[in-house]
Amino acid sequence: MPDIRYVCLSDMHLAADSSVLTLLQPNSIEIDPTKPSPVLSQLVICLRELIAHNESKEKPTLVLNGDILEMALAETNDAAMVFERFIELIFPKDGEALFDKNILYIPGNHDHHIWETARETQYVNYIDRIPAGTHLEIPWHTTKMFSPDLVRGYFLTDLIQRYPHLQDAVINIIYPNYALVSSNGQKCLIFNHGHYIESIYSLMSTLNTMIFPNRQRPKVVWDLEAENFAWIDFFWSTMGRSGGVGRDIGLIYDKLQNKKQIDKLVANFSASFVEKYNPSRWIEGVEAKGLSWILDFILDKTGTLERNKPAQLLSPDAQQGLQNYMEGPLLEQIHIENKQNVPADITFIFGHTHKPFSQDMSFTGYPRWMKVYNSGGWVIDTVQPEAIYGAAVILIDETLQTISLRLYNQAASAGEYAVRVEESTHPGVTSSPFYDRISAFVSPSSEPWKTFSATVAEAVGIHEKVLQTKINL
């Protein structure tokens, strides 16, 4: 019987006050990183229930597919503590470990800095093998997708190894693509966080081609990352931890829900900045307008993020971005690393958008059908429930069959929350044995699924109120 071999989670945003996996202090918008949130606890209970049905004693591998720690809008210590609460649940001191102690971590945009520290480690490891005085290669910006050299994530590994029973645990970093391949090479599953489907994350490449029209956009993923890593790391993974400025950046994120609030914020900031730093008062108006224009440009791009578009699972821009990434940098990396061989059966797993789905898609250069899964997200981005937002856990068996455990989608009433199992498919294709097996274990009206649904429904309502409070600040 098919067992759960890999479990993929993404967009947990641990320590973000908008994440239902982060505990809030009672009647407050402040977080409490010392205890797990009820939703986080129930999530692990549900996973433990499923994995208990595995016939093999081998523990599944946990794949963390980006935006796990909130490093853009929370302090590092808070993110680390909430991550510890998660680790304590899946590796209890006096209980059975839920996963293998070797965890795979693929950073996203909100935790991109984890990749930057791993990238430096990767280069130090390379230098250690090179004799002094010989030529050193330029630092590279990715790992291999197929059979990568795993990079030890020292920050996260050392964090969890402080627990005596986890001194042999390791968190290895891969970025930005990671592939699992069947023994015959014809079946392949690819993990990617998904931020490069949005043009805002390749803004530096766009500006480069605008300023220098004779230059082309990067065709390979390492060049794409090389041009944009500093921008991603600065604005999306570091800026929010920059003291008082960082807290203001967090306020901007929250106010993206309200255009009037954004206009007021930009005008106030521009005028205050010029008044404080510009002694030449006669050009104050011009400079304030110029600064406002720059801020409007950035915030307009930010305000149109895919996670802020509730009308459809993928907006036309995101659909085009996904196609460009799949048919461009990703396909090129497959060709280069896999000797021009494109596997006949490919599954692509990503998150980032906070809108989970499971469907078959077609892309030029690939087999006719590709299974595509989005794992959604655990944060509350709107002050009113939007059914398109929610979270899923992606489960994979030993043959790389893949299903989506749709844990929730937002709903107007608690009674509408229900866990379900989905599989990416197209007409004429029957469900897989893995889908049938997991479906038999998931009954929305039974425990622990019923309690999970009630818990997450309550948490969504609380976090919507917190978001409204912050918008009104």
List, in order, residues 6 or more apart from 146 with CB less than 8 Å away.
179, 181, 337, 338
393 forms beta bridges with 405
pLDDT tens digits, 225-274 = 999 998 888 877 776 555 555 555 555 555 555 555 556 555 655 555 55
One domain for residues 184 and 262 = no
Res 62 pLDDT > 70: yes
- Top pLDDT among 300 and 61 is at 61
pLDDT-derived band of residue 295, with 50, 70 and 90 as boundaries? low
One domain for residues 296 and 355 = no
H helix or E strand, kind and range, residue 277: helix 259-277
- Top pLDDT among 212 and 267 is at 212
- Residue 281: the pLDDT is 45
One domain for residues 289 and 359 = no
What is the number of structural domains in the chain?
2
One domain for residues 13 and 155 = yes
Give the C-alpha separation, 151 to 104, whole Å: 10
Least confident among 37-41, 284-288, 384-388 = 284-288
Give the C-alpha separation, 370 to 188, whole Å: 10
One domain for residues 351 and 297 = no
DSSP codes, 137-165:
PPPPS---SSS---EE-HHHHHHHHTSGG
One domain for residues 175 and 279 = no
pLDDT tens digits, 113-168 = 999 999 999 999 999 999 999 999 999 999 999 999 899 999 999 999 999 999 99
Instruction: Report yes or no: 438 and 471 within 8 Å, Cβ to Cβ.
Output: no
Domain range enclosing 280:
257-303
Least confident among 202-216, 318-332, 425-439 = 202-216
Mark which of 279, 303, 327 sits at the end of a domain.
Answer: 303
Handedness of CA 71, 75, 81, 86 (dihedral sign): negative
One domain for residues 178 and 269 = no
Residue 209 lies in a domain: no
List, in order, residues 6 or more apart from 79 with CB less than 8 Å away.
14, 15, 69, 70, 71
**Cα–Cα distances in angstroms (integers) from residue 444 to residues 374, 377, 454, 467, in the given order:** 21, 20, 11, 29
Give the CATH number for residue 40.
Answer: 3.60.21
Give the C-alpha separation, 386 to 356, whole Å: 12
- Residue 66: the pLDDT is 96
One domain for residues 265 and 360 = no
Give the C-alpha separation, 331 to 345, whole Å: 14
Residue 242 lies in a domain: no
User: Cα–Cα–Cα angle for 199, 250, 317, nearest 5°?
Assistant: 20
Q: In the numeric block, which tokens belong to residue 79?
A: 């993110």
One domain for residues 276 and 135 = no
Helix axes 284-303, 259-277, angle to 10 degrees: 140
Residue 227 lies in a domain: no
Q: In the numeric block, which tokens belong to residue 78?
A: 């808070």
Residue 91 lies in a domain: yes
| Sole residue written with tokens 């766009």 | 206
Give the C-alpha separation, 241 to 451, whole Å: 35
One domain for residues 288 and 359 = no
- Residue 283: the pLDDT is 42
Give the C-alpha separation, 298 to 460, whole Å: 29
DSSP codes, 39-59:
HHHHHHHHHHHHHTT-SS-SP
Q: What single letter denotes the amino acid at residue 333?
A: Q
